[in-house]
Amino acid sequence: MSNSPLGVVNATPMEPLRVLEEIKRLAVEQLGSLPGMLFRGVEQTLDNAVANGMAGPGHFEDLGSLRMLRQQNATLSMRFRQQLAQGFDDFRGLRVRHRGDLPLGLIEDDQLEFQLQGQRLAEAVLARYQRPLEMLRGRLTTLSAALGTTGEVNPIGPERLAAAFVETFRETEPTPSVRSLMFRQYEQDLAMLLGDFYGRVNTLLASAGYGVASPQAQPREAPRPSQPQGFVHDTVEPRERPATTGAPDPGWSGFDAPTGAPQPAAPAPAQPAQQAELREHVAQELADLRSLLQTWREGLQQQGIGPARPAAKAPAATASTATREMRIDEMLSVASMMQHEPPDAFARALAGSGRLADTIRDHLTDGARRIGLNPDQTRFSAQEEDAIDLVALLFDSLFRSHSLQDRARRLYARLVLPYVKVALSDESVFVAQDHPARKLLDAITEACEGNQATTPQDRELLDRAAAASQRIVAEYNEDMAVFELAHAELDALLSQQRRRVDLQEQRAVKATMGRERLGSARAAADSAVIDRLKGQRMTRAVADFLAEPWRHHVVQTVLREGDEPARQAEAFNLGDALLEADRLAAENRGKELADHLLALEPAIVQCLASSGLDDSAARHALAGLVHALATPDRPRNVQAPPPRAGEAEDEGAEERRVWLSGATGAGEPDGTLVELLRGLKAGDWVRLTDTQGEVVPAKVAWISPLTSRMLLVNRRGMRVLAASVDELAVLATAGRLVLGTESTAFDEAMRQVRQRLDKAVGQH
């Protein structure tokens, strides 16, 4: 099998200067127009500030500064392109400035602010695109070696892009507000372009023969014949990998990459002892997983539903007809040949029409026949059986535990054979958290889960996920770089989706919080009205005032003045004062009543105004109340309390009723279960099953300080359910809520695979 970088078909790398010029052309073409794109976004932000009443005193000065910048648009765009091109000259070492060439002097405050904001911009871009930049750094190092230069500066890295922006606008002297808005807009525009741009440059370098390892590197020693290829290796040497594949061996597990290879960000490099401990941990997990698989498969064979293996059919075969196990390289050849074919059979198996593992075996057996391997004389090895079964169980679990639409089924079906190849060459994908193939599958599931393609953004996500799967099918040839690149490109778009999900989640939290605060305020007002009407004989006018304007005033005061007990006390005291006025009127104490009402007049007018009455209408209503109280012999009766509006308008009651439908007869919740649910925190994940049997992964987004209800949202930030611990315990007792759900799709699917194997093993 080839161990060449992504897309390499040339025997030798392309001429390095021509590759560098092509990257330069792409940079100027895709990024060169950014300065001219800034002004519209900055202007829109300034206009929004005026529309929202948030414009500062320097607004007109900001508009003037922006107008001056617009007039220099052509010059600034040309200067920015020159800065981009200059970065490539620096990379080649054509422009070397010595310390004596630099002018000395003090830096002015505005230029210093430019530098500081440029540094912050570079740090933000670096954090966002760390993985593709790590890959790009390794490939540019190989390119610079071919050019015979040091290549210390990445010509399209965050530092260079920030420096180009700073140098372009340094002398323009924009106002501080406009300068900040320009940096913010530049960062947003970069975020829309860099994911695709870095992906194209990485692909260009890889296809030109400039991988992360030097083209002149010596070939690795081939593995000893006695050493098993694939999952578990006896060696613990830190940097050896099988020479026949581009994937790391399980001992390596993605934790100790070869020099120049892209590595996941880590706080500090692992020490040799830690590396050995990690390898041992990975090997132990794989051994446990394989043991479970073997026992599970034996149980299926005893039931007559397991995979039929030729060796089991003919134990007394002669030497001429004896079967042999297929080698890993043979299996990889078969899978590589078959991965480009239509995935219809896998899609049907994922739809539930058949076992996916059997379909994979049938395809690989047919492929083996095509390349001349007689199925009657060959069989899958235990390692190959494990790879097939684990991939099948993984994909089955993904479709059982995630809301994946029909359109996504074919997308995943394309990936089945490539992931079988990954499992054959590096089984650590099932246990190593940072494996590239694992991260790509997480990203694809994040893009597809619950995606109904109802918005342009959702459709773009689906299209990008489909493109990632097609890229894997077209380009994967045991080189993990293709997974890295596909993940980097998809993740760049997903970062925007995550921001939308965060905003949606915040909206759900704020809406739920607002409804609960409103419900709490209404409940407080209802209780206050009932307490003052209960058993009290009063005029109809006072009772109506308490039940309507005063109740509404209490609700508004509790909502707006929740942190000021004194203001709330004033609102509640007004109700008591009205009862006192009615008592004075009943006792015909006219002078005291008049003084009392004069003192209450401002509070009564304010109360009426909070109900939406203007000053004239409020005073007219006050006059009606005074007229009613001025008649001592007006009838006074015990008034019936109004219905509790807080309970009548509980919007979540119907939602909880639907979710709890059919779950209340499951028995009394266990006390231990209730305590576990009570220990959930914001950010924890659970798995819900609705009344139609659909599984919904849900996250605890917020816990109400008023009612202790937990707000659960799905992976797209949409509200699923707001329920108390006791209500969630009812769902858990009915088997429709499961704790301990993992935050990523791959982790959750593997957790379910282990549970399924454990359960099956426990039954045999």
Per the DSSP assignment, residues forming a β-bridge with 80 are: none
For residues 686 and 720, the answer to whether their CB atoms sit within 8 Å is no
For residues 604 and 574, the answer to whether their CB atoms sit within 8 Å is yes
Residue 221 has pLDDT above 70, yes or no: no
Tokens of 637: 């009766």
Stretch 432-442: mean pLDDT: 90
Q: Which of 88-102, 357-371, 585-599 has the least mean pLDDT?
A: 88-102
pTM of the model: 0.54
CB-based contacts of 104: which residues, under 8 Å, 6+ apart? none
Please give the distance of CA 428 from its chain centroid, rounded to a whole number. Answer: 24
Paired sense of beta strands 685-689 and 637-638, if any: unpaired
So what's the pLDDT on residue 54?
67
- CA distances, 148 to each of 93, 142, 145, 160 (Å): 10, 10, 5, 21
The pLDDT tens digits of the residues spanning 104-150 come to 444 455 667 777 888 888 888 888 888 788 888 888 888 888 888 87
Residue 10 has pLDDT above 60, yes or no: no
What would the 3-class secondary structure string for 522-568 be?
A: HHHHHHHHHHHHCCCEECHHHHHHHHHHHHHHHHHHHHHCCCCHHHH
Phi, psi of 232 (to 5 degrees): -120, 125
Q: What distance in Å separates the CA atoms of residue 727 and residue 737, rounded to the nearest whole number?
A: 11
So what's the pLDDT on residue 254?
32
The pLDDT tens digits of the residues spanning 608-652 come to 888 777 778 877 888 888 887 877 777 777 777 777 664 445 567
Residue 582 has pLDDT above 60, yes or no: yes
Q: What distance in Å separates the CA atoms of residue 629 and residue 571, rounded to the nearest whole number?
A: 21
CATH number of 651-762: 2.30.30.140
Please state, for a pLDDT cut of 90, what percent of the chain lies above it.
13
Return the residue matching tokens 């935050």: 743
Residue 99 has pLDDT above 50, yes or no: no
Give the up-direction half-sphere exposure of residue 171: CA atoms within 13 A in the CB hemisphere.
7
Please state, for a pLDDT cut of 70, what percent of the chain lies above it.
79
Pick the residue with more confidence: 96 or 160?
A: 160
pLDDT confidence band for 506 (50 / 70 / 90): very high
So what's the pLDDT on residue 310?
41
For residues 445 and 491, the answer to whether their CB atoms sit within 8 Å is no
Q: What distance in Å separates the CA atoms of residue 256 and residue 270, rounded to the nearest whole number?
A: 8
Q: What distance in Å separates the CA atoms of residue 702 and residue 708, rounded to the nearest whole number?
A: 9
- CA distances, 324 to each of 294, 357, 382 (Å): 19, 21, 12
So what's the pLDDT on residue 253?
32
For residues 458 and 451, the answer to whether their CB atoms sit within 8 Å is yes
Burial degree of 197 (CB within 10 A; 0-12, 13-18, 19+):
buried
The secondary element (H helix, E strand) that includes residue 85 is: helix 73-92
The pLDDT tens digits of the residues spanning 275-324 come to 666 667 777 888 888 888 888 887 776 666 555 444 333 344 444 457 88
Pick the residue with more confidence: 107 or 205?
A: 205
The pLDDT tens digits of the residues spanning 368-383 come to 888 888 888 889 998 8
Q: What distance in Å separates the CA atoms of residue 395 and residue 753, rounded to the nearest whole number?
A: 10
**Left if phi > 0, otherwise alpha if psi is -120 to 50, otherwise beta: which for 370?**
alpha
In single-letter form, the type of residue at position 385 comes to E
Domain ranges of the chain: 16-97+105-207, 324-479, 512-647, 651-762
Return the residue matching tokens 């590589």: 336
Please count the residues of the chain.
Answer: 764
Residue 334 has pLDDT above 60, yes or no: yes
Nearest to 22 by CA among 213, 205, 214, 210: 205
